């Protein structure tokens, strides 16, 4: 098995610090986790770090200044080059505190150590710097409902490492080499309760811009600008994120079952569901993997033309679900497909309405380039909405010159 190290920087991650440490410690050993604290003041987080340092986690408190967060990439580079010099690790996984390593196999997402280590062994043998192309975001208010997105992060063979960016997305490749691919994924617990999201955004943006200046926030385009939206939206808008698209949500308790083996899962779930609307999410498109397990071999047998795809499951999510392909060739598969087609048709008006909401919100935030993209998707669905056409024209006029 390859020798694997994880690098991570955090600050006051009350909800995430302990689950992250337990999850990756269970996978790779606590002594192979390298955690940089960026000035935490939370008593709970500091106690957790001290507890796991006693178990072997390498906790570094020497990077506590706000500017050290901006130097996160340089800090990681220095440590990985140290690993390369000392030859004590084969692979490094640079992570954020909301990213949990998992893998996608023939039966769906998995946190089993055997599955993850088998894929890391394959990467080690191949020797290429690999890019993790997929993640499952938790839907706001849930730890068992996810939204699939493409999101580049890296798996770094130490012997080939020279440089990596601040966000750990694309390390430098050796001349003439391509990035490799992997079935590893991240479970991205990015969508915390709304008040916690605002708290974290305040910590990161507060030193850089005046959070009380709403108009100034709309114009802010510096480091962390993607966090501005959390100060310009209401909680109900936040909990409605991700709910209009044609791809399904994925429901599975695999992560909660894994956490249950490591810690008090009831307490974790209560924290993450805090503030969730009592009505729940309103997306009718939900692929429940606990009720209807996905089997790659069954999907390929029912759709032979997808046999060459790198991942049958990602193909199903990206193309097959909305493209009305059956999950398998059985009568149950045909029934599932018929029900799915009906849901897709019934949900079309709701998707259009949600896209309109996104466009209006983006204009309110002053993000006219984003608004224009949403209008471009909405107007073909509702060509007789003259008010929307007028607002789309405004967003085009106000787009920054570089956005076209």
Show pLDDT as tens, one digit a residue, over the chain (404 residues).
Answer: 999 999 999 999 999 999 999 999 999 999 999 999 999 999 999 999 999 999 999 999 999 998 898 899 999 999 999 999 999 999 999 999 999 999 988 778 999 999 999 999 999 999 999 999 989 999 999 999 999 888 889 999 999 999 999 999 999 999 999 999 899 999 999 999 999 999 889 988 888 899 999 888 888 888 788 888 888 888 888 887 777 666 789 999 999 999 999 999 999 999 999 888 888 887 888 999 998 889 999 999 999 999 988 888 889 988 999 899 999 999 989 999 999 999 888 887 777 777 787 788 788 777 788 888 889 888 988 888 888 888 888 888 887 765 44
* CA–CA gap between residue 350 and residue 353 (Å, rounded): 5
Are the C-beta atoms of residues 77 and 164 closer than 8 Å to each other?
Answer: yes
| DSSP result, 384-395 | T-HHHHHHHHHH
Calculate the CA 240 to chain-centre distance.
17
* CA–CA gap between residue 53 and residue 138 (Å, rounded): 28
Handedness of CA 204, 200, 96, 242 (dihedral sign): negative
Are the C-beta atoms of residues 367 and 398 closer than 8 Å to each other?
Answer: no
Cα dist from 320 to 99, 110, 148, 328, 376, whole Å: 27, 21, 14, 11, 24
Ordered structural domains, the chain, with CATH = 4-188 (3.90.550), 194-240 (no CATH), 349-404 (no CATH)
* CA–CA gap between residue 348 and residue 350 (Å, rounded): 5
* CA–CA gap between residue 21 and residue 48 (Å, rounded): 9
On the 0-12 / 13-18 / 19+ scale of CB atoms within 10 A, 250 is buried
On the 0-12 / 13-18 / 19+ scale of CB atoms within 10 A, 388 is buried
Tell me the pTM. 0.85
């Amino acid at each position: 098995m390859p020798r694997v190290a994880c690098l991570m920087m955090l600050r006051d991650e009350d909800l995430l610090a302990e689950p992250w440490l337990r999850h990756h410690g269970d996978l790779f050993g606590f002594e192979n986790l390298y955690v940089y604290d960026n000035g935490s003041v939370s008593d709970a987080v500091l106690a957790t770090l001290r507890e796991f340092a006693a178990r072997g986690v390498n906790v570094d408190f020497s990077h506590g200044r706000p500017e050290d967060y901006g130097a996160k990439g340089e800090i990681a580079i220095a440590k990985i080059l140290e690993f390369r010099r000392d030859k004590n690790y084969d692979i490094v996984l640079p992570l954020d505190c909301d990213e949990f390593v998992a893998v996608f196999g023939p039966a769906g997402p998995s946190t089993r150590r055997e599955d993850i280590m088998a894929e890391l062994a394959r990467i080690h043998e191949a020797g290429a710097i690999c890019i993790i192309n997929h993640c499952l975001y938790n839907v706001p208010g849930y730890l068992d409902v996810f939204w699939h997105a493409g999101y580049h992060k890296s798996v770094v063979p130490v012997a080939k490492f020279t440089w990596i960016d601040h966000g750990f997305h694309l390390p430098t490749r050796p001349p003439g080499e391509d990035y490799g691919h992997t079935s590893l994924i991240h479970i991205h617990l990015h969508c915390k309760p709304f008040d916690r999201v605002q708290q974290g955004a305040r910590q990161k943006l507060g030193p850089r811009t005046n959070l009380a200046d709403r108009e100034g926030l709309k114009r802010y385009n510096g480091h962390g600008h993607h966090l501005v939206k959390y100060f310009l939206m209401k909680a109900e808008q936040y909990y409605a994120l991700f709910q209009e698209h044609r791809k399904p949500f994925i429901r599975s308790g695999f992560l909660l079952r894994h956490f249950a083996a490591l810690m008090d899962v009831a307490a974790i779930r209560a924290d993450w569901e805090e503030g969730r609307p009592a009505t729940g999410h309103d997306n009718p498109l939900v692929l429940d993997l606990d009720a209807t397990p996905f089997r790659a071999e069954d999907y390929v047998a029912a759709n032979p033309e997808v046999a060459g795809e790198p991942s049958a499951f990602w193909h199903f999510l990206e193309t097959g679900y909305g493209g009305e392909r059956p999950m398998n060739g059985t009568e149950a598969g045909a029934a599932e497909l018929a029900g799915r087609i009906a849901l897709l048709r019934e949900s079309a008006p709701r998707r259009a309405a949600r896209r309109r909401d996104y466009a209006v919100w983006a204009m309110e935030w002053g993000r006219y380039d984003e608004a224009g993209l949403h209008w471009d998707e909405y107007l073909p669905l509702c060509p007789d909405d003259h008010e929307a056409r007028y607002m789309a024209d405004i967003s085009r006029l106000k787009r920054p010159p570089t956005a076209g």
